[in-house]
A and B are shown apart, each in its own frame.
Chain A
Amino acid sequence: MSTGTPASGHGRPAPPTSHEASGTTVLSADDVARALTRIAHEVVERNKGVDDVVLLGIPTRGLPLARRLAQRLEQVEHVPADELVGSLDVTMHRDDLAHQPTRTIGETYVPGDGIDGKVVVLVDDVLYSGRTIRAALDAISDLGRPRAVQLAVLVDRGHRELPIRADYVGKNLPTATAERVRVLLAETDGEDRVLIEGGAR
């Protein structure tokens, strides 16, 4: 779930119609790039290098973000980016499957020799209720036993329903529940931008 809105679980982005015009840009392409660079340095600093770090991106938009973080880590720490990045599909671990239309299952891929004893950094675009991350924690425990799990998100929009907190945040974005945060990334949407839309519907 990448849009950060509970009612929009159709797995595909909304059509680029009037929504786009009504949205307010809160992060530009440069802001996104700067946030990722900062997060990459924070990851290195906190873990004293990236020797045991595995970045697991949550599809759809967490995965390109994880890849971009890995590229920055490669520049800083000279570790091949490909060996850092995996993808973690949490669809089958969600607790709201029975309330939403069927979701397509994405790919789970873990680099190297698994996650046992590693530091796993989960990467997602928007942190909202925290339910995706709860599902991700369950999914991780099926894959192995990491030494620690950390969470990196591009946007934290608040309204948590579970006791979950991000370790690395691109931007804290106080929102109303009626608002909708849309993250656009070059890989999936052709441009880098974060918008807030809706509010009074």
Chain B
Amino acid sequence: MRHLLSAADLDLDQAVLVLDTAGQMAATQAREIKKLPTLRGRTVVNLFFEDSTRTRISFETAAKRLSADVINFSAKGSSVSKGESLKDTALTLQAMGADAVVIRHQASGAPHTLAHSGWTHGAVVNAGDGMHQHPTQALLDAYTLRRHLVGDGGRADVTGRDLAGAHVAIVGDVLHSRVARSNVQLLRTLGARVTLVAPPTLVPVGVHAWPAEVSYDLDEVLATGPDAVMMLRVQRERMSGAGGGFFPSPLEYTRGYGLDARRLALLPDHAIVLHPGPMNRGLEISADAADSPRAVIVEQVANGVAVRMAVLYLLLAGGDTARGRDDGGAGRAGDGQERTDVRTDETRVHA
């Protein structure tokens, strides 16, 4: 794994490896001394073109717990507002020796451009791009689901296990949701069944090609007894006006697709409620549901740190030799031999 750009980049083995590594990272976070020397001397840049509190803090905490140096860059108050391009920002970061760039951008595909343009040699982690992908969110959701649903409800060791057989309902604004897109792909990779529930206006075109079922009726889906319900935030900022014409009124949306105490009671006993946050209490989720013992929303935040530690570890801890191996031929002879090979490759590229 060289970059993490999309949940679809991960195959089953890689996804399970990330979740297992996150499990070990989480174990270290229960200790008195939470900081590990693992990424000492590495520099991680949080490049945030779009506002985000929890994702940025989560990545920052993860990098710091692994002893990496962290540079936070937010577009507001930077030269980006003077018109600097992504390319020039990336070249600056490269010159400063960033080993990894965590990027959040309002444009879908910006992380992909950054990773494949040669502007930076560091690993690129997508922390949310437009309406496209948010892979670490999907990983932390999968980690949370695995903790609660697999291995006798989380009492047994879940290392190495996937989510085969689990049924997850993803409810709400699927159209604008990168969380939904990432989750559908990752949950499918891990063997879970996904049902998307949304008003017809908030279902993306081409959804029939996604590996998920689609329903317009939340009560009907809840009656089938899903193992988990993932509520999505109604993204007012991506809709013009209050509802933007996607639904008649907030009240009507709440009636049709909001999770309240009545709907919560329809769920099976073991089912859990997830929400990527920030929540619009009273709109897509009621206070009853958000504060119920089944809601694992606060736990998701804690798991987010462990998952991001795992991702940074897996992307950064291996040396240049490891990256060379990832990019090219596997099974080269010795350690020193490998390093020489990689250098030759690089020289060739620059020549």
A contacts, CB < 8 Å to B: 6-7, 9, 89, 92-93, 97-108, 138, 141-144
Q: Is B37 an interface residue (CB 8 A)?
A: yes
**Which residues of chain A are within 8 angstroms of B20 by Cβ–Cβ distance?**
104-105
Nearest Cβ on chain A to B323's Cβ, whole angstroms: 9
**Which residues of chain B are within 8 angstroms of A89 by Cβ–Cβ distance?**
24
Which residue on chain A has the smallest CB distance to residue B22? A105
**Which residues of chain B are within 8 angstroms of A104 by Cβ–Cβ distance?**
17, 20-21
Which residue on chain A has the smallest CB distance to residue B337? A7
CB < 8 Å: which of A9, A92, A102, A108 contacts B37? A92
Across the interface, do A92 and B319 meet the contact criterion of CB distance under 8 Å?
no
Nearest Cβ on chain B to A157's Cβ, whole angstroms: 19
Nearest Cβ on chain B to A174's Cβ, whole angstroms: 23
Which has the most chain B C-beta neighbours within 10 Å: A6, A104, A105? A105
Which residue on chain A has the smallest CB distance to residue B99? A98
Across the interface, do A102 and B335 meet the contact criterion of CB distance under 8 Å?
no
Across the interface, do A97 and B319 meet the contact criterion of CB distance under 8 Å?
yes
Across the interface, do B313 and A92 meet the contact criterion of CB distance under 8 Å?
yes
**Which residues of chain A are within 8 angstroms of B294 by Cβ–Cβ distance?**
none
Chain B 87-98, CB-CB to A under 8 Å as 1, else 0, gives 000000000000
Which residue on chain B has the smallest CB distance to residue A101? B322
B contacts, CB < 8 Å to A: 17, 20-21, 24-25, 27-28, 31-33, 36-38, 41-42, 66, 159, 313-314, 317-319, 321-322, 325, 334-336
Across the interface, do B21 and A7 meet the contact criterion of CB distance under 8 Å?
no
With A107-B24, A108-B24 given, is the CB distance from A97 to B38 under 8 Å? Answer: yes
Give the CA-CA distance A6 to B36 in the complex, in Å: 23
**Which residues of chain A are within 8 angstroms of B21 by Cβ–Cβ distance?**
104-105
**Which residues of chain A are within 8 angstroms of B336 by Cβ–Cβ distance?**
7
CB < 8 Å: which of B17, B38, B319, B321 contacts A93? B38
Give the CA-CA distance A89 to B38 in the complex, in Å: 12
Across the interface, do A100 and B313 meet the contact criterion of CB distance under 8 Å?
no
**Which residues of chain A are within 8 angstroms of B25 by Cβ–Cβ distance?**
105
Across the interface, do B33 and A142 meet the contact criterion of CB distance under 8 Å?
yes
Across the interface, do A7 and B31 meet the contact criterion of CB distance under 8 Å?
no
Across the interface, do A105 and B313 meet the contact criterion of CB distance under 8 Å?
yes
Besides A98-B317, A99-B319, 12 other A-B contacts (C-beta < 8 A)? A7-B334, A98-B41, A98-B42, A98-B318, A98-B319, A101-B319, A102-B314, A102-B318, A105-B24, A106-B24, A108-B24, A142-B28
Nearest Cβ on chain B to A127's Cβ, whole angstroms: 20
Across the interface, do B24 and A100 meet the contact criterion of CB distance under 8 Å?
no
**Which residues of chain B are within 8 angstroms of A105 by Cβ–Cβ distance?**
20-21, 24-25, 313
Across the interface, do A97 and B27 meet the contact criterion of CB distance under 8 Å?
no
Nearest Cβ on chain A to B68's Cβ, whole angstroms: 12
Nearest Cβ on chain A to B274's Cβ, whole angstroms: 26
CB < 8 Å: which of B159, B313, B321 contacts A99? B321
**Which residues of chain A are within 8 angstroms of B17 by Cβ–Cβ distance?**
104
**Which residues of chain A are within 8 angstroms of B28 by Cβ–Cβ distance?**
92, 108, 142
**Which residues of chain A are within 8 angstroms of B159 by Cβ–Cβ distance?**
107
Nearest Cβ on chain A to B299's Cβ, whole angstroms: 21
Lowest 7 A-B CB distances belong to which pairs? A102-B318, A101-B322, A92-B38, A105-B24, A7-B335, A142-B33, A99-B319
**Which residues of chain B are within 8 angstroms of A103 by Cβ–Cβ distance?**
317-318
Across the interface, do B38 and A100 meet the contact criterion of CB distance under 8 Å?
no
Which residue on chain A has the smallest CB distance to residue B309? A92
Which residue on chain A has the smallest CB distance to residue B157? A107
Which residue on chain B has the smallest CB distance to residue A97? B317
